[in-house]
Structure 1
C-alpha cells in the first residue's frame, strides 16, 4: 500500500483522534489542511466558553475584586500548571508574563548578572532572529563578546560544536530546544552539562518544543528557559510567554525591568524596589489576564493526555509526512531539510524547493496552510492534538499539484 492510501487507517488507529474535535474550525470545509500549528495553534472550543464566562462573570461580575480573588496570582498558578504538564519542573519556578522577546531579555540580563566578570555569550547563527538580535543588543549594552556557532540549517547545534565554543569566559549559552527552521531537537541535558563544566549558564528557548516534545527542565539541569504559548499551547495570537528560572538561582536572580507587580508587597506602593521572593520577581507590570485564558484549556488537555502520548503522535505524523514527501515530492526536486531520524527531530518538518514561495501562496488560496521560511522552505507544523493524518496527506498532495501546475 502506498503512503497516500494509508491516511484513513492511521487516523482510525490514532488514540488521540477524538481531541481534534475539541478545536474550533476542525470541521471548517474551507480549510482543507492546517499545517501551521507550530506557528499559530488552532483555538479550542472550550476557550470560547471560558472567555465568554470570564467577560460576563469574572470581569463583568467581579470587576476590580477579581485581582484579590484570582488574577494577581494567575501568572504563577498558570505557570505552575504548565510546568507540571509540559516542562518537567516543580512548582515555584515558572511564570506567565510578557512577550517571548521581553522575557528572553529579562532572563538573559539576569543570568549574565549571575556570572560577573565573564565576557562571552554563546549562540548559533541559525537561531530564531529575535534571539540573535536581542543578544546582539545585550552584547552591545554590556560590551560583551558573542561567540557564534556556525550551525547547519538542516540540522542544528551539536554537542561537539558547543564544546568547542564554550570556555573560561562563557557567561551564558542561549540555544533553541527545537530549531525553528529544521526542527532539529537539541540534546538539552548534554548542552547543560557542557555549559556547566565551562562555568556558564544555559538558557533554552522552548518556543518550538513546548507542547510537542517531552521536556524535563529540572532533571536536565537547565538554568533558565523561555517560550511562547500561541503555537502548540493554543493561547492565541500574541498570548503571553512563560519564563522558568531554576530554583537554585532565584534568590540571587535580578531581572532588569523593575515594575510594581514584581516588587515585594506591591500594593504597599512603597519607596524603592525590593524584588519579590521566588519566581514573582520576573514579573514587571500588570499581567495580561485576558491573554492567559485560552492556553489553560490546552494545558489541561496536555495534563490529561500526557506528553509521551503527544510525542508518539508527533513522531507518527512527521514520519508519515516524510514518507509522503519521499513518495510524492522528492521526484519533483523537493529536498528534505529536517533530520530524518525522529530521535533528533521535533514536531515539524521542513522541505525545500526553489519555487516554494510562490507555491505557498497558491496553497493558502486553496485552504491548505503551511508556512514559508526563506530562502525556499515550506514548514509542515503538525500539532498532535489537532492535526489528522488525512490533513497531512491532503497537504502533501496539494504541494505536488502546485509544483506540477
Structure 2
C-alpha cells in the first residue's frame, strides 16, 4: 500500500533517514484527521496487482523481501477458485470412471480386474492384460486381411466373435481345471441356447459346455475346445482355441435367430474341456492323455450325432483350411461347398496333414467328422498366439461357412 499525500513538512525527515513503521502510521493518521476536519473524503487505497519480481524458479514464499509498495503473492489459491478447480477435477474423474465402466462392463469385450486374473487362485505364470492393451490388439485384428476373401453373406458377426476372443484371453492362461477357466465357463454358458454343463467322466473338475437348437435326429455338432495348454508360461491361446470357441458361440447366436425349415436337424454346440495335455501328460501319447472332454462326450453321445465339425485355429491372418487327412471326405466336401456358396471357397482348398484333435474320438466311433485347422499358423504353440494375430476377415470366413453348413445339412 502507498500513501497518496505526505504528512506536514515539519514531520518530513531527510531522505537518508530511515522512517519507522510507527512513524508512517502516525503520519497516515494525521492526514486522515486533517481531511476529515476539512470535509474531504478519505484517500482511496490503491492495491498494486503487479507480480513481484521474483527470480525465475523462486516462489512467493522465499525469504527475498518484496519491493516497497507491492503486495506479496499468496502461498495458496483463493478459496473459491480452489473449490472450483477441485470440483472440476472431481467431475472429470467421475466421468472417466463411468466411461471405463461402460467400456468394460459385462459384455463380450469385458475384462476382469488384475486381482481376478493374477490372484492366488490363478495358475502360475498368469498375467493380467490391461484393457488398453487388449483394445489395441482388437483394433489390430480388425485390420483388413487381403489374403482372405470377403464373404457374401452377413449372418455371422465377426466383430462380436473377436470380442468374445477378447473376453477369454483377458482371463489369462486357462488350463483345464483352473479357476480362470471356471470363470470363463460361466460367461460361455450364458451365451449358448439351452446351455448346460456336463461333467467329464473320469476327470473330476473338468466340464464340457453343451448348447442346442432342437430339431430332428441325429444331431449335427459344431465344436471347439475352450481350455489352453500349460506351456509356454503365460499362454493365452487366442487362436488355440479362443477363436474356435468364439466362432461356435457366434454361429449359435446366428442360427438361433434364423427361421428354420420344417424337418431341420438338431444342432448342438459343444465346447470341450481338457483337450490339452494335463500336468505329466505325454506328447507322444496325446490321444491317450489329452482329448479328455471329447473322448468322454463321444463315449456318451456318439450314437446321437450324425456329423461333427470341429473349429480349431480358425481365425489367423491369411487363413487357409485344407482338408485334414483324418477328416471324412464326404462331409468335407459339403463343408467346402457351403464355403463356396458364401464366397470363401478358396480358403478351403487343398489337403493338409493328419492331426490328433478333438474330432478323432468321433471318427473312431464311426461318426463323420471334419477338423477345421490352419496347421501352418505361424504363432501356434507359442506365447505370440495373441489377439492381435487374428483377423476379422478370417473369423468371418469361418463363421459364415459354419452357419451355412449347419443351416443346410440334411440327414444322409
TM-score (norm 1): 0.21
Q: Structure with the greater relative contact order (CA < 8 A, sep ≥ 6): 1 or 2?
A: 1
Structure that is richer in helix per residue: 1
TM-score (norm 2): 0.21
